[in-house]
Amino acid sequence: MPEAIILDIKLPGIDGWAVLETLKGNPKTRHIPVHMMSVDEPSMEAFIKGAVGYLKKPISKTDLDAAFHKLVGVFSKEVKNLLVVEDDNNLRKSIIKLIGNGDVCPEEAANGAETIRALKAKTFDCMILDLGLPDMTGFELLKMLESMEDITMPPVIVYTRRDLTREEDAKLREYAETIIIKGVKSEERLLDEASLFLHRVVSNLPESKRKMITNLHDTDVMFKDKTVLVVDDDMRNVFALSKVLEEKGMRILKAENGQKALDVLKGTPDVDLVLMDIMMPVMDGYETIKRIRDQETFRKLPVIALTAKAMKEDKARCISAGASDYLPKPVDVNRLSSMMRVWLYR
Amino acid sequence: MTKNGYKAIVIGISAGGLAALSKLFSFLPNGFPLPVIVVQHVAATSNRFIYTLFNNKCRLTIKEADDKEEIQAGFIYFAPPDYHLLIERDETFSLSIDAKVNHSRPSIDVLFESAVYVWSSGLIGILMTGANSDGAHGMRLIKEHGGLIIAQDPKTAEYPVMPQSAIDTARVDKILSIEGIGEWLRDDLVHLTRDVKNESRSG
Amino acid sequence: MKKTAIENIEITLLLDAIFERYGYDFRHYSRASIERRVRHFLSKSECDSISGMIPKLLHDESFFDIFVRDFSITVTDMFRDPFVYQSIRKNVVPILKTHPFVKVWHAGCATGEEAYSLAIILKEEGIYDKTTLFATDFNDGALDAAKKGIYALENAKKFTANYQAAGGTTSFSEYYHARYEAMALNQSLGKNITFANHNLVTDTIFGEMHLIMCRNVLIYFEKALQNRVLNLFSDSLVNGGILCLGTKESLMFSTISKLFAPMDENARLYQKKVL
């Protein structure tokens, strides 16, 4: 059994993604850290599917060294570090009891200040966070942590008693992998989701993403400082896409429905390109694009429709609604890049 | 009666035919060479595990048909409640929730018609006690394609309407009591197919 | 050549023609049902043979439109198989409650009975407001009917009995009013339901779901197509998300079976494992 795997995505006759899924799906091989490599642009998919890193070819010796170094770091970590942030003592203890066993080493924090201290002292594999803290809200804490350079953010599971508004949900998605509302089945879910992070070594996830990004040759002038509006009712899609685009130097605006998209455009006239999901409730993508085109200022605004619908007539429908072009879902980052290059060319 | 190989038996019966079926099945011997497929008019909410009641008295295995299941000899298949049962050319089952036919789902006509297109002259259709005319058209179709059709003698049926409508509209080959049908299946049919099976193996 | 063999060829040609011309792919549907529907449509058309319908389908778009709308009519009930809805209430709803917002997909919703049934359950369990339901079908005629939420009055008794058997907490009559010969469901039930056109054979993922209900749709597909669709569902579900199939359907023979654990096998409720 190998101790680590470096896996090329495009293997002759075999799909590297399928290999990764098989490895992660088999209990015997699930624990082996896998580092993906490919000529393709890096995407969230690799990490979502369980890879610990991504190398974009061509790969230099330094790149490889860094990858090996990270993998070695993985092996020497015998215990997984868990940080539980919850002001209620009893609840905090019960969470630790639920998850912090065996190879998991739990630490506790009852407020924002303690959390910051803990994160500065150590790298964690997972953080469970309550939103109602005595010295600041969970939102404020997350925002603060994100901006601190000397802190490596672990994957965050928000574990909260109260219902969230859509705005709060959207804001949280930017920082948290998972949000769990406390209830009858929530412990089961908490255990499952935490295991995902604790037993897949991803403490370096945010860091490796950043490293991956600086390895990119893509300091493409075409994208730098351009403003893109991403419209999709699924906030996860929005954030996944945003992260990829932000690394190209683009400024991302987000809207989770057609009406908000129209509002954003009204308030920000210098949007360069719109990515529009078609299947949305209340006002679908077709309708939204038509409304955008109805306005003189936006007649020539590049709008790329993202659609799950694959028949010729569906694509024609996108175009007749006024889209500049369309891309099938799931979005291929390479194709998106080429298409954006075309439409951003002035 | 032609010497073409008989390939399957389809049976239509109304609600309340449990006793009749039980009696009929008791005649079928071990190694009965044809699969038997039954549409019984049952309420959508009927107990689906009622087949276990049969299994004591019957030498063949009784089960509810599953979607895409291979049809084999040695089994008696029942259409599941609230689904139509159809036969594919590769001799597997297909289910459907299309509209009721003759106020019924499962409908006997739907099964019989579907079976005709797969087994044509190799098909034997049996219509038993029942309160509506579902199945009459199917019986006629089987006959038109060279298959063999048997109606339960209405005089022996708890509800004579169904077998009677088959007799009225199709040239039924045999009209028998339940015992009569059972004996025919056990004694006469088995001999027929034995010759034919050898023939079809070499052919 | 036997008549039935010729008809088989005709049907293949007809399905190919439809695919080439319009992109609707019925070629991998379970053949027996297709044949039945084609023959039925033939008897209502003025054509003499199955292949005789082909030129008309190719050249006359409105004829094709009627064909598609007529072709895929299924009939189901609200709360069909009440024990399944009971199981959803008992096993699935608590899980949905742990998510701040919930997305449900009714794939192949036909005339909407199931989507409205689930909507009632979500309302009674207090999570309707935080749920977005997508009800999709490739048949626009069915979607139009589904949006209206109007059903034949004669169904009211059956629906009522089913609703009660499914654990309904009030009177079913709270959810509809009788109008002429029809029962019209309350508009409020449809508030969070988005009806949209989506074809399971050709289209891809449009979002990430917590619950996917697809009951008695897969039975119309051949095995390979069933597998395609099940993979689509698997890809569309969050970790821990739930898939609900029809009581005679299964995911055991598909390539995704290992990714799911049975939550209630009888009710055909499966949960996607969190890797």
DSSP assignment of A229-278, as one string?
Answer: EEE-S-HHHHHHHHHHHHTTT-EEEEESSHHHHHHHHHH-TT--EEEEES
Residue B52 has pLDDT above 70, yes or no: no
Q: Are strands A14-15 and A10-11 parallel, antiparallel or unpaired?
A: antiparallel
Q: Which residue of C has its CA nearest to A184?
A: C94
A179 forms beta bridges with A158
Q: What is the SS3 string spanning chain C?
A: CCHHHHHHHHHHHHHHHHHHHHCCCCCCECHHHHHHHHHHHHHHCCCCCHHHHHHHHHHCHHHHHHHHHHHCCECCCCCCCHHHHHHHHHHHHHHHCCCCCEEEEEECCCCCHHHHHHHHHHHHCCCCCCEEEEEEECCHHHHHHHHHCEEEHHHHHHHHHHHHHCCCCCCHHHHEEEECCEEEECHHHHCCEEEEECCCCCCCCCCCEEEEEECCCHHHECHHHHHHHHHHHHHHEEEEEEEEECCCCCCCCCCCHHHEEEEECCCCEEEECCC
What percent of chain B clears pLDDT 70, i.e. is strictly above it? 87
Please name the fold of domain A227-344: Rossmann fold (3.40.50)
CB contact under 8 A, A281 and C202: no
Output the CA angle A82-A88-A92, nearest 5 degrees: 25
Do C91 and C27 sit in the same domain of this protein?
A: no
CB contact under 8 A, C130 and A237: no
Do C110 and C245 sit in the same domain of this protein?
A: yes
A161 CB within 8 Å of a chain C CB: no
Do C89 and C67 sit in the same domain of this protein?
A: no
- The stretch B190-200 carries a mean pLDDT of 52
State the Cα–Cα distance between residues B37 and C78, nearest whole angstrom. 29
pLDDT band at C199 (very low <50, low <70, confident <90, very high): very high
CB contact under 8 A, A169 and C132: no
- Lowest mean pLDDT, pick from B89-103, B160-174, C65-79: C65-79
| C76, part of any domain | no
- Residues A50, C275 contacting (CB under 8 angstroms): yes
Do C118 and C247 sit in the same domain of this protein?
A: yes
Domain termination residue (choose one: C20, C40, C71): C71
Task: Using an 8 Å CB-CB cutoff, list chain A residues near C199.
Answer: 309-311
B165 CB within 8 Å of a chain C CB: no
Angstrom CA distances, B149 to A87, B7, B35, B136, B181, stand at 79, 14, 16, 10, 11
Task: Using an 8 Å CB-CB cutoff, list chain A residues near C103.
Answer: 234
User: Where do the domains of chain A lie?
Assistant: 5-75, 80-198, 227-344
B and A touch with 3+ CB pairs <8 Å, answer no
State the Cα–Cα distance between residues A301 and A268, nearest whole angstrom. 13
Q: Which residue of B has its CA nearest to C162?
A: B45
pLDDT band at B197 (very low <50, low <70, confident <90, very high): very low
A234 CB within 8 Å of a chain C CB: yes
Domain termination residue (choose one: C29, C52, C71): C71
Do C100 and C207 sit in the same domain of this protein?
A: yes
CB contact under 8 A, C197 and A309: yes
Q: Long-range contacts made by residues A158-165, C-beta under 8 angstroms, separation at least 24?
A: A158/A129, A158/A130, A158/A131, A159/A86, A159/A95, A159/A128, A159/A129, A159/A130, A159/A186, A159/A190, A160/A130, A160/A131, A160/A132, A161/A130, A161/A132, A162/A131, A162/A132, A163/C100, A163/C130, A164/C100, A164/C101
Do C255 and C222 sit in the same domain of this protein?
A: yes
Contact map slice: A 22-81 vs C, CB within 8 A? 24-25, 30, 50
Please state the φ and ψ torsions of residue B95, each to the nearest 5 degrees. Answer: -110, 160
Q: Which chains touch A (3 or more CB pairs under 8 A)?
A: C
- What is the architecture, at CATH level 2, of domain A80-198? 3-Layer(aba) Sandwich (3.40)
C44 CB within 8 Å of a chain B CB: no
- pLDDT tens-digit profile of A261-299? 999 999 998 999 999 999 999 899 999 999 999 999 999
Collapsed DSSP state (helix, strand, coil) of residue A137? strand
CB contact under 8 A, B117 and C35: yes
Tokens at residue C56, please? 């008309």
Task: Using an 8 Å CB-CB cutoff, list chain C residues near A200.
Answer: 275
Tokens at residue A89, please? 């003592």
Do C263 and C238 sit in the same domain of this protein?
A: yes
pLDDT tens series, chain A, 346 aa: 787 888 888 888 888 888 888 887 676 776 677 788 888 766 546 655 667 677 878 888 877 887 776 666 555 556 789 999 999 998 898 888 777 666 788 899 999 999 999 999 988 989 999 999 999 999 999 999 988 888 888 989 999 998 999 888 888 988 888 999 998 888 888 888 888 788 654 333 344 333 333 333 445 677 888 999 999 998 878 888 888 888 888 999 999 899 999 999 999 989 999 999 999 998 999 999 999 999 999 999 999 999 998 888 888 899 999 999 999 888 888 888 888 888 887 5
Q: Which of C12, C248, C254 to mutate to test the interface with B (most CBs of B within 10 A)?
A: C248
Q: Report the pLDDT value the prediction gives residue B31, as an integer from 0 to 100.
A: 87
Active site residues of B: 14, 41, 134
- What is the architecture, at CATH level 2, of domain A5-75? 3-Layer(aba) Sandwich (3.40)
Closest CA to C18 of C142, C144, C202: C202
Q: In CATH, what number does B8-197 get?
A: 3.40.50.180
- Residues B14, B162 contacting (CB under 8 angstroms): yes
- Residues A153, A145 contacting (CB under 8 angstroms): yes
State the Cα–Cα distance between residues B129 and B127, nearest whole angstrom. 7
Q: Report the pLDDT value the prediction gives residue A247, as an integer from 0 to 100.
A: 82
State the Cα–Cα distance between residues A325 and C115, nearest whole angstrom. 33
Q: Which chains touch C (3 or more CB pairs under 8 A)?
A: A, B
- Residues A131, A160 contacting (CB under 8 angstroms): yes
CB contact under 8 A, A185 and C134: no
Do C56 and C171 sit in the same domain of this protein?
A: no
- pLDDT tens-digit profile of C13-51? 999 999 999 999 999 999 999 999 999 999 999 999 999
CB contact under 8 A, A50 and C275: yes
Of B45, B97, B145, the CB nearest to C76: B97
C205 CB within 8 Å of a chain A CB: yes
Token pair 């409205």 in the structure block, residue: C116
- Residues B11, B128 contacting (CB under 8 angstroms): yes
Residue B162 has pLDDT above 80, yes or no: yes
**Number of domain units in chain C:** 2
DSSP secondary structure code for residue A110 in this structure: S
User: Where do the domains of chain B lie?
Assistant: 8-197
CB contact under 8 A, C192 and A311: no
Task: Using an 8 Å CB-CB cutoff, list chain C residues near B117.
Answer: 4, 7, 32, 35
pLDDT band at B49 (very low <50, low <70, confident <90, very high): low
- pLDDT tens-digit profile of A151-204? 888 989 999 998 999 888 888 988 888 999 998 888 888 888 888 788 654 333
Q: What is the dihedral of CA A311, C217, A185, A25, to 10 degrees?
A: -70
Q: Give CA B18 to chain center in angstroms.
A: 14
| ipTM for this prediction | 0.93
Q: Which residue of A has its CA nearest to C91?
A: A185
The mean predicted confidence, pLDDT, of chain B is 88
CB contact under 8 A, C275 and A196: yes
Q: What is the dihedral of CA C165, C167, C171, C177, to 10 degrees?
A: -70
- Lowest mean pLDDT, pick from B13-22, C161-170, C239-248: B13-22
State the Cα–Cα distance between residues C210 and A152, nearest whole angstrom. 30
State the Cα–Cα distance between residues A215 and C97, nearest whole angstrom. 42
Task: Using an 8 Å CB-CB cutoff, list chain C residues near B95.
Answer: 216, 219, 248
> Domain of C171: which CATH number?
3.40.50.150
Of C94, C101, C130, the CB nearest to A185: C94
Do C105 and C36 sit in the same domain of this protein?
A: no
Task: Using an 8 Å CB-CB cutoff, list chain C residues near A279.
Answer: 134, 194, 196, 198, 206-207
pTM: 0.81
Q: Which domain holds residue C142?
A: 82-272
State the Cα–Cα distance between residues A75 and A264, nearest whole angstrom. 47
C199 CB within 8 Å of a chain A CB: yes
